[in-house]
Structure 1
Amino acid sequence: MSTYPVTADSPAPLRSWLLTDSPDSRRQAAWGGAYRRWLQFRRNRLAMTGFVTVVLLILAALAAPLLATHAPGAQDLARRLEPPSTAHWLGTDELGRDLYSRLLYGGRVTLGMVVSVVLLVAPIGLAVGTVAGYAGGLADRILMRITDVFLAFPRLVLALAFVAALRPGVTSAVIAIALTAWPPFALLARAETLAIRKTDYIAAARLTGASPARIVLRHIAPLCLSSLIVRVALDMSGIIMTAAGLGFLGMGAQSPMPEWGTMIATTRGYILDQWWVPTIPGIAILVASLAFNLLGDGLRDVLDPKQE
């Protein structure tokens, strides 16, 4: 059996080990498949641009305390609404706070909300979809009708209703967005499950005495993950826009917390005279949304078998 080559001075044997047409183990086959998908993904320049941009945004948000030049809440009314300069790289807002520093810390809030939403909705959507698709019958009808109810309302409007029922804030916004974002994941998982449950290996698993829960968890759910990952990447931009929209409407992160949507809301009155103040966080939202869209398109080309 082949061993995993770990020497740093032998990249050619490592590449040959990964790209062999006759792997000696399941581990070698898995690593080889992942490496081939990475090579295919890397050839897509737009997807790589999105991937690099997303990584840079996440690193910048995580390293905000190191990269920021000022405290995000430090006010200097004598320097309010200053244009970009060497002292304040992106200018200052209506209270003299440094926009560059607030943008970095705002990335922590906005991207943190998005990650929290994804960690909530992906498992919920996967669970609902696989259970509905495999069980069928009454369980399928009930779960799908509940899904249809959530799909009948625009996401932002439904999220506003949930936040109003709770109270404005980051936690309420995350819960509200999660409650409105899971139906597409459930529909996708159900469609994949309906195709998978009729295959021979699922029938073989039943014959061996595997319980429905084991079949769903060990055999069906893993096969739905690739499509779910693609859907998550494509939906990230919509989640960012919803999170920023809630902040803009005063139902998400509350001022003085630096969040991109809230930053636009508190400075929208200066759009004509001091255009950079609301425009800069708007550009951040645009860049993040576009980057996730490009990344999602690249992942769809690599992971979605229907695209092959």
Structure 2
Amino acid sequence: MIQTSFRNWALDETPASRSQANWGRRYRIWLSLKSNPLAMIGLGIILLFALLSLLAPLIAPYDPSLQNLGNRLARPSAVHWFGTDELGRDILSRILFGGRVTLGMVVSVVAVVAPIGLAVGCVAGYMGGVVDSVLMRITDVFLAFPRLILALAFVAALKPGVESAILAIALTAWPPYARLARAETMTIRNTDYVAAYRLTGASRWRIMLRHIAPLCVPSLIVRTTLDMSSIIITAASLGFLGMGAQAPSPEWGAMIATAKRFIFEQWWVATIPGMAIFMVSLAFNFLGDGLRDVLDPKQN
């Protein structure tokens, strides 16, 4: 009854308030996303991994750092569902706790790069001229290097660790967001309603902050969701190369690094964290494709 009432209220063709119109728009987006099976599968996998990672201290069967050398490299069984690693640590527990490290790194990177890319792109696209040229040439410098190579250089200049990996990935991940925000801004700045705001005496910064940046957000959400898979792989790659999370932290990339010498005889030690990376990356791609279909008007 409540759901039907909300549906009728949200889908009302003549909303009585701005709040009702906004909720109606959000609800229509959700209905469109819900009709995409792959997007919902991706969303479900992401929510499942996020929930399991948050509840890891409560549901993990063992301490992820607890060593049992007498039970090292044990096969998957009822006692250890995913087996144990070279130090006898339960792989399931390490996967659950490792999700907190890997997914936490991804969220931290996105929280940094999205606002930076949006700000740089909006300023460059709206100001134009020298400001645009300077900001875009800086962006081109970062785009000229492969992301992983540049991230490795930044981490080497700092010190290996989670914080350094987050900072390094963030410093290499913002240019595409800036490029996208600039392209959107250059389209929006010449519209009639932006010209009307100029005539009312609104400042450049107010127009960018209140009227241009919000219109760039949907495209950035799509780009962010699609980019999360590459951020996960970059974070795992840094861990695999020993430049990310350090032992005994149960980060998925670091788990593969320590298990690579057992991959032929004890396949589960490296395969399980690899499958976790694969599933989450694929889920973000599914969700990103669905959001692009819903939020990007150029796809319709």
TM over 0.5, shorter chain? yes
* Offset of residue 27 of structure 1: 1.1
Counterpart pick for 2:281 among 286, 289, 305: 289
C-alpha separation in 2, matches of 1:283 and 1:172:
25
C-alpha separation in 1, matches of 2:53 and 2:201:
49
Letter in 2 for 1:271: I
Letter in 2 for 1:282: G
* Offset of residue 10 of structure 1: 3.8
Correspondence list, 1:174-185, <5 A: 174-185=166-177
C-alpha separation in 1, matches of 2:249 and 2:195:
54
Counterpart pick for 2:251 among 259, 262, 267: 259
Counterpart pick for 2:9 among 7, 10, 17: 17
Q: State the Cα deviation string for residues 233-258 of structure 1 (Å, max 9, x = none).
A: 00000000000000000000011110
Correspondence list, 1:46-65, <5 A: 46-65=38-57
TM-score by length of 2: 0.99
Q: Name 1:241's counterpart in structure 2.
A: 233
Letter in 2 for 1:275: W
C-alpha separation in 1, matches of 2:234 and 2:183:
26
Correspondence list, 1:82-101, <5 A: 82-101=74-93
Q: Name 1:144's counterpart in structure 2.
A: 136
What is the aligned length?
A: 300
Counterpart pick for 1:29 among 21, 37, 51: 21
Q: State the Cα deviation string for residues 138-187 of structure 1 (Å, max 9, x = none).
A: 00000000000000000000000000000000000000000000000000
C-alpha separation in 1, matches of 2:78 and 2:115:
46
Counterpart pick for 1:135 among 115, 127, 149: 127
C-alpha separation in 2, matches of 1:111 and 1:207:
46
Residue 154, structure 1, aligned to residue 183, structure 2: no
* Offset of residue 14 of structure 1: 2.2
Letter in 2 for 1:244: A
Q: State the Cα deviation string for residues 77-135 of structure 1 (Å, max 9, x = none).
A: 00000001111110000000000000000000000000000000000000000000000
TM-score by length of 1: 0.96
- Off by >3 Å, runs of 4+ in structure 1: none
Residue 228, structure 1, aligned to residue 213, structure 2: no
Counterpart pick for 2:182 among 190, 193, 197: 190
C-alpha separation in 1, matches of 2:7 and 2:148:
47
C-alpha separation in 1, matches of 2:202 and 2:6:
38
Q: Name 2:65's counterpart in structure 1.
A: 73
Q: Name 2:36's counterpart in structure 1.
A: 44
Q: Name 1:169's counterpart in structure 2.
A: 161
* Offset of residue 13 of structure 1: 2.8
C-alpha separation in 2, matches of 1:142 and 1:11:
52
Letter in 2 for 1:57: F
Q: Is there any run of 5+ residues in structure 1 with no aligned partner, and where?
A: 1-8
* Offset of residue 20 of structure 1: 1.5
3-state SS in 2 of match to 1:168: coil
3-state SS in 1 of match to 2:224: helix
Q: State the Cα deviation string for residues 229-288 of structure 1 (Å, max 9, x = none).
A: 000000000000000000000000011110000000011000000000011000000000
C-alpha separation in 2, matches of 1:136 and 1:36:
35
C-alpha separation in 2, matches of 1:158 and 1:106:
24
- 1:288–1:11 distance in 2 versus 1, CA, 3 Å: closer
3-state SS in 2 of match to 1:95: coil
C-alpha separation in 1, matches of 2:31 and 2:78:
41
Letter in 2 for 1:199: T
Aligned-CA RMSD value: 0.7
